[in-house]
Amino acid sequence: MAKNTTKDYDAELNKTIFDIKHQRTFCMIKPDGVMRGLIGEIIRRIEKAGLKVVAMKMLTPDEDLIKKHYPTSDEKWIARLGNKSKSGLDGLSLDVKDTFGTDDDTELGQSVLSGLIEYMQSGPVVAMVVEGIQAIEMVRKLAGATLPFKAEMGTIRGDFSVDSPVVANVEGRSIHNLFHASENVKEAESEINLWFKGEIICDYSLGNDDIMYCKHY
Ligand code: UDP
Ligand code: MG
């Protein structure tokens, strides 16, 4: 307990600590992860990190759900997609326009987005809510960088996928990167609300909660 503080301050601090301990994020094993038999491996990594799966379901999403899931009317996000795709050229002596047909981030982002919408409907996904200390940042770390060939070894994308937007684009498809994880609090809240609206999010304790999260001695 913090010293020399008012009751209000202590109550506020306790609430903040509770919220940090119970932070929730949304994550999803994408169709390629399911079809490659990686459901168990991916969930194992989440659980091994000390995080808790508090809701889970399998479904094949339709176009409407995917369009709601990704911020498809956010121009900045679309331009960021295009820009990320361009970074697939790092280390290659290829021209942006020759490779992607455009060097405009937004135009390229739109084309990446249509491939992404198609890819995400290509089979069942496993959607989850995961809870724990700094869960959003933790699950992003477990996921690794977006582009598989840049994702660090030891991460889900780095260990199990190898793909590049240059190759994907030429083949008229999205990159296959196995796993989705919310990037920040706003994204986590809206994605949990979209995928699990009105559904039960479970509350239970892990056997090692005391050792991991509390002063047990
Ligand atoms: N994506 C893609 N090509 C790219 C960049 C992204 O196909 O050059 C897809 C990929 O499936 C990625 C998704 O778009 O996971 C959403 O992109 P975002 O930038 O939000 O990456 P994430 O948050 O998934 O790491
Ligand atoms: Mg994202």
pLDDT digits (tens, 9 = 90+) for 75-125: 999 999 999 999 999 999 999 999 999 999 999 999 999 999 999 999 999
Structure tokens at 32: 């390629």
Specify the pLDDT at position 79. Answer: 98
Which secondary structure element, helix H or strand E, spans residue 58, and what is its range?
A: strand 52-59
pLDDT tens per residue, range 134-164 = 999 999 999 999 999 999 999 999 999 999 9
- Between CA 21 and CA 204 the distance in angstroms is 13
- Between CA 208 and CA 186 the distance in angstroms is 29
**Count of beta carbons in the 10 Å neighbourhood of residue 94:** 12
Q: Is the pLDDT of residue 176 over 70?
A: yes
Q: Which residue is closest in CA terms to ligand 1's atom 12?
A: 146
* 180 tagged catalytic: yes
Task: State the distance from the centre of ligand 2 to the C-alpha of 187, rounded, in angstroms.
Answer: 9
Task: State the distance from the centre of ligand 1 to the C-alpha of 97, rounded, in angstroms.
Answer: 20
Ligand nearest to the CA of 28: 1
**Count of beta carbons in the 10 Å neighbourhood of residue 18:** 9
Strands, sheet with 52-59, edge to edge from the N-terminal-most edge strand? 52-59, 125-131, 24-29, 179-181
Q: What are phi and psi of 114, to 5 degrees?
A: -65, -35
- Between CA 163 and CA 112 the distance in angstroms is 14
For ligand 1, what atom is nearest to the CA of residue 113?
Answer: 14
Task: State the distance from the centre of ligand 1 to the C-alpha of 167, rounded, in angstroms.
Answer: 15
Residues with CB under 6 A from ligand 1: 80-81, 84-85, 112, 115-116, 146, 165, 174-175, 177, 180, 183
Indicate the SS3 state at residue 147. Answer: coil
